[in-house]
Amino acid sequence: MKEQILQVIVAELLHVFDLNEEKDVIKYLQEVGINYYKTETSFEIGALSNLDFVKGAKQVFLNYKFCDNFGGNPWVNICQAYIDMEQDTEITLGKILDLRHNTGTLREKLKALPANNKEK
């Protein structure tokens, strides 16, 4: 489940490029410890650890503009909940899944992942 949460954070984070200059975003990603490499057909994004990645993503959601229904404070909260869970505070996976993003709950977003929609 943690890997799926990371997938949706990555997907949401990529919307930072919708309204912001790519070179500025890439520079800021590096400043917050996220490596981003892009080719014409793919990209790679990561950090030293999943926790480091989510901490950096939280800073991007805090400090950059996003289009309506993407990014922003709801994703700051999701990142913080993930951080809290990784640091063994009182938050549970259930509480994280019930957090709301811009258009629904994280639980709903995870159910929409392609891996969860395979025909049986």
Answer yes or no: is 29 within a domain: yes
Question: What pLDDT does 102 receive?
Answer: 78
Write the pLDDT tens digit of every residue in 71-87.
999 999 999 989 988 88
Answer yes or no: is 112 within a domain: no
Q: Hey, what amino acid is at 107?
A: R
Answer yes or no: is 41 within a domain: yes
Answer yes or no: is 114 within a domain: no
Say yes or no to pLDDT of 44 above 90: no
Answer yes or no: is 116 within a domain: no
CB 61 within 8 A of CB 52: no
Distance CA 72, CA 54 (A): 14
Answer yes or no: is 115 within a domain: no
73-82 CB contacts, 8 Å cutoff, 24+ apart:
74/99, 74/100, 74/101, 74/102, 75/9, 75/12, 75/13, 75/101, 75/102, 78/5, 78/9, 78/106, 79/9, 79/54, 79/55, 82/2, 82/5, 82/9, 82/54
Total domain count for the chain? Answer: 1
pTM of the model: 0.81
Question: What pLDDT does 120 receive?
Answer: 42
Q: Which residue segment(s) compose the domain that 71 sits in?
A: 2-105
Answer yes or no: is 120 within a domain: no
Answer yes or no: is 45 within a domain: yes
